[in-house]
Amino acid sequence: MIRTKGRACTGKRRHDTRDEAEEHRDRLLAKGAVRIAAYACRHRGCGGWHVGHLPKPRT
């Protein structure tokens, strides 16, 4: 296993489809998480979906 530094998606749950990611998000929301969303990974070689915190809205 290769560990990469930085903001790579290592350590995060990876989902093949948006549906799976949203299901995961729903489970986290049910546990009390807030402001999280499913998003498509931009990391090369991943091509999956992850669940993470939303960026702060700029107002």
**Least Cβ distance, residue 59 to Zn ion (angstroms):** 29
Only segment of 15-23, 31-39, 40-48, 51-59 that touches Zn ion (CB under 5 A): 40-48
Residue 43 binds Zn ion, judged by CB under 5 A:
yes
Residue among 12, 22, 20 nearest 46 (CA): 12
Pick the closer one to Zn ion by CB: 1 or 58. 1
Q: What's the rounded Cα separation, in Å, for the pair 45 and 32?
A: 31
Residue 51 binds Zn ion, judged by CB under 5 A:
no
Binding site for Zn ion (CB under 5 A): 9, 41, 43, 46
